[in-house]
Amino acid sequence: MQWIKATTRDALATGPVVFKHPPRQILIIEHNDEVFAIDNRCPHEGFPLAQGTVDSDCILTCNWHNWKFDLSDGKCVLGGDHVTAYATKTEGQDVWVDLTLPSPDAIRARVMPGLQTAFRKNEFGRICRELTRLKMGGLDPLDAVATAVEWSYDKFEYGTTHAFAALADWISLYHQNEGHWDRQLVCLAETVSHMAFDTLRYPEFPYHDDVVSWDESRFLDAVEQEQGPLAESMIVTALQDGMTFSDLESAFTTAALAHYNSFGHSLIYVQKAREVLSAPIAIEPKHILLPLVRHICFATREDLIPEFQQYAGALQQCPTRFGSSETQLDTSGLRKGGLRSALQWTQSAMETHSMGDVFDALLQVNAQNMLQFDTTYEKDISNKVSDSVGWLAFTHAITFSNAVREQCTTLPHLWPAGLLQIACFVGRNQRFCDPTIQLKDWRVDHRDSFLSTAHDVILDNGIRSPIFGAHYLKTTLAVEAELSHAGEQACETLLAALNRLIQTPIKQKHAHRLALQAIELVSRDFPAP
């Protein structure tokens, strides 16, 4: 034990004493002939508890926001997290305080229930404090993130959300900021808070776990038929039999690209699942893969709606082998003519050019579309539902392209589907562009400096809704990944597009537009007399 003489009974007779033993500030109070010692700073906003009020039941109230603490053990009885209480002893007139640090196990036992409470309420400040307590107590805060995944995975009614997709990138950014706990803490708190946001007040949606032996063809058919219980059971059995994501990745990627699934989300989620499960964090594979299979079964098959129905025919007519021409691709066919033109251009380009050349051209044009996004569509309240687009329609084109390159490099037979789905973004987004927006106005001249600034924006974007902050993150890291592979023009356009994105305010809520659309839709059921 580490006993330190802190004050005297005579000093306490005149009122509370704040004993400073840097970095600690310990409040010592004599009440009802007992001596108590707790941290002086309220964990809420740091108000000095020495200026609080003690009642007859030994409850100390922080008068700043009315949080209340039991002096005997530091537990918060009204408010949020607890404060540390210290053992005391009196020898004659001297008051001693035990400053022995609790064991890591004791710290974890105290912190994790607090973190779970903060998670259930999505209290960002307390999430930060509890994670920091783990860090300062010598524990690995990444373990707490893995626990948050466990708290979340069975509360996604329709499967994986961007909370789990962004998890991969937050972990990557966490390791990039080694040695800077403030920046690392943002990464961890943001991902935990996003999981909390997406599961807030949701009940459990249990997964099916019948014993069904793994069979890739049967799994793909179950997904195609939207037989979620069967697909889930096969994944559970496969994992119990010792299979890993590497064994299952082909099936997940194939299922994700079987349709233009959920505007490209499915393939992005598969890519991010791989990244999470290969990251240095102890996450159980089932916590990632069961929500993923549920998502793919529930995913919207965009190629079945009129706007994208040309995709299936285009895929059937794709050449079986790529060309080898080294001539520069003319991308004018990707800049007008809508979806039909984009699909036809991609088919023709595959016949004459290499996979890499076709991918680079599609990526570059998607980057240009993002650069030239006409934000009046985002601001207009009178848009038709089909014209209700925002920045995310354009950032997804980049993150999806990144996912196609990574997943199809491993499974090259899926390149035609991947490239044609990238073309779907190109064709769909064409009509929402403003050609007067020029690359020269957003050109990035100093790449490293700009990317450093982009990371600063990610870590302090000021956006309450985590979905938008997650897209800043995912788009930036996707751009960085593609800079190592893309041609010079594509790189220049990607950086300019990202530059405009992070400098343009995003409209997060469309109250008036949604109100008008609701009136227009509902009024059809109530014709005027």
Q: Which of 232, 250, 249, 69 is nearest to 154 (CA)?
A: 232
Q: What is the pLDDT of residue 152?
A: 98
The count of other CB atoms within 10 Å of the CB of residue 91 is: 9
Q: What is the pLDDT of residue 529?
A: 67
Q: What is the pLDDT of residues 407-445, one digit of tens each?
A: 999 999 999 999 999 999 999 999 999 999 999 999 999
Q: What is the pLDDT of residue 401?
A: 98
CA angle 108, 113, 114 (to 5 degrees): 95
DSSP helix, strand, coil percent of the chain (3-state; round to 5): 60, 10, 30
Which residue ranges in the chain fall short of pLDDT 50? Answer: none
Q: Which of 322, 350, 324, 346 is nearest to 333 (CA)?
A: 346
Q: What is the pLDDT of residue 382?
A: 85
Beta bridge partners of 332: none
Q: What is the pLDDT of residue 499?
A: 98
**Separation CA 184–CA 266 (nearest Å):** 28
Q: Which residue has 């082998």 as its token pair?
A: 321
Q: Which of 188, 178, 87, 97 is nearest to 134 (CA)?
A: 188
Q: What is the pLDDT of residue 385?
A: 79
Q: What is the pLDDT of residues 236-292, one digit of tens each?
A: 999 999 999 999 999 999 999 999 999 999 999 999 999 999 999 999 999 999 999
Q: What is the pLDDT of residues 463-494, one digit of tens each?
A: 889 999 999 999 999 999 999 999 999 999 99
**Separation CA 76–CA 71 (nearest Å):** 9
For residues 334 and 361, the answer to whether their CB atoms sit within 8 Å is yes
Q: Which residue has 């099936």 as its token pair?
A: 251
Q: What is the pLDDT of residue 164?
A: 97
